[in-house]
């Protein structure tokens, strides 16, 4: 009789799906269109994963790839919440564009049942992180523990429940002397792995597809013998 594997992985893609968030919801912008635009930008570069042992949860995880488009959306959202002057916004946007040219950054949140393993930034951690494309694989240049979840974090990353911890991983922009994102690259794959489980998340690269133009109704034909006017 074969033994069932100890761990199995259930992936849930997209920001709308995933485990229920415990805690006060994050703030939203008063402008409904601006709020919807941000959530759409977030959804495009965010994925969720869950790791189980039998029927018991071992790990909840969600990650957001800091694409150039999302960086701009995030900064503009912060500027609206904090009422920045235009000069401050312009400076922040330029810094984000410079960072996007230098590194690939993934911000990820985790909720681990065994808190001893919530130590991704430790030198002795059991976890291995990587970012891969069709060009190769890289490991983090730096890994920062941002901290335990707060309502402020949830204004930008709604998946950050009360028992979650937020991290930021920065990866090199090149592998073996060539860009990690080449001309034909369509996605980046972020992996977290250890004896406690493995997760894999894929993020699109490049600008989002242009919205299709709205359909316009054809003009009604003029009245005539074959098209009598409506009563």
Q: Mean pLDDT score of the chain, rounded to an integer?
A: 86
99: in domain: yes
Residue 197 CB partners (closer than 8 Å, separation 6+): 7, 9, 51, 58, 59
Percent of the chain with pLDDT over 70: 81
221: in domain: no
227: in domain: no
Mean pLDDT on 81-88: 98
3 state DSSP class of 76: helix
The Cα-based distances of 149 to 8, 153, 164 in angstroms read 26, 6, 6
216: in domain: no
pLDDT number for residue 7: 39
Distance CA 150, CA 181 (A): 33
Task: Report the domain count for the chain.
Answer: 1
Distance CA 102, CA 28 (A): 31
135: in domain: yes
Is the pLDDT score of 183 beyond 70?
A: yes
Q: pLDDT of 150-179, one tens digit each? A: 999 999 999 999 889 999 999 999 999 999
φ, ψ of residue 152 to 5 degrees: the values are -65, -45
φ, ψ of residue 178 to 5 degrees: the values are -130, 150
User: Where does the pLDDT of residue 56 fall: very low under 50, low under 70, confident under 90, or very high at 90 and above?
Assistant: confident
Is the pLDDT score of 218 beyond 90?
A: no
Q: Give the Cβ contact number of residue 217 at 10 Å.
A: 5
Distance CA 168, CA 43 (A): 18
pLDDT number for residue 214: 52
- What percent of the chain is helix, strand and coil (3-state, nearest 5)? 25, 35, 45
Q: pLDDT of 2-52, one tens digit each? A: 443 433 344 433 443 455 567 788 899 999 999 999 999 999 999 999 888
52: in domain: yes
Q: pLDDT of 189-206, one tens digit each? A: 999 999 988 999 999 998
If residue 90 lies in a helix (H) or strand (E), which one and from where to where?
Answer: helix 86-102
Is the pLDDT score of 139 beyond 70?
A: yes
Q: pLDDT of 106-119, one tens digit each? A: 999 999 888 899 99
pLDDT number for residue 222: 58
Q: Which domain holds residue 190?
A: 7-204
213: in domain: no
170: in domain: yes
Q: What is the pTM of this model?
A: 0.81
């Amino acid at each position: 009789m074969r033994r069932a594997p100890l761990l199995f992985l259930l992936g849930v893609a997209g920001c709308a799906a995933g485990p229920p968030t415990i805690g006060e919801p994050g703030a939203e912008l008063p402008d409904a269109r601006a709020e919807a635009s941000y959530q759409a930008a977030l959804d495009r570069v965010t994925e969720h994963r869950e790791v189980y042992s039998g029927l018991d949860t071992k790990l909840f995880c969600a990650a957001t790839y800091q694409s150039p488009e999302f960086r701009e959306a995030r900064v503009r959202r912060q500027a609206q919440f904090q009422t920045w002057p235009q000069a401050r916004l312009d400076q922040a946007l330029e810094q984000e564009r410079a960072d996007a040219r230098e590194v690939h950054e993934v911000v990820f949140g985790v909720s681990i049942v065994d808190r001893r393993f919530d130590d991704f930034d430790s030198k002795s951690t059991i976890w291995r992180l990587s970012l891969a494309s069709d060009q190769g694989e890289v490991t983090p240049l730096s890994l920062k523990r941002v901290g335990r979840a707060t309502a402020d974090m949830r204004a930008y990353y709604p998946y950050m429940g009360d028992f979650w911890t937020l991290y930021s991983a920065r990866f090199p922009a090149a592998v073996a002397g060539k860009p990690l994102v080449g001309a034909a690259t369509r996605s980046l794959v972020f992996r977290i792995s250890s004896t406690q489980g493995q997760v894999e998340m894929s993020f699109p690269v490049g600008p989002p597809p242009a919205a299709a133009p709205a359909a316009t109704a054809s003009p009604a034909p003029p009245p005539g013998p074959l098209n009598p006017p409506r009563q």
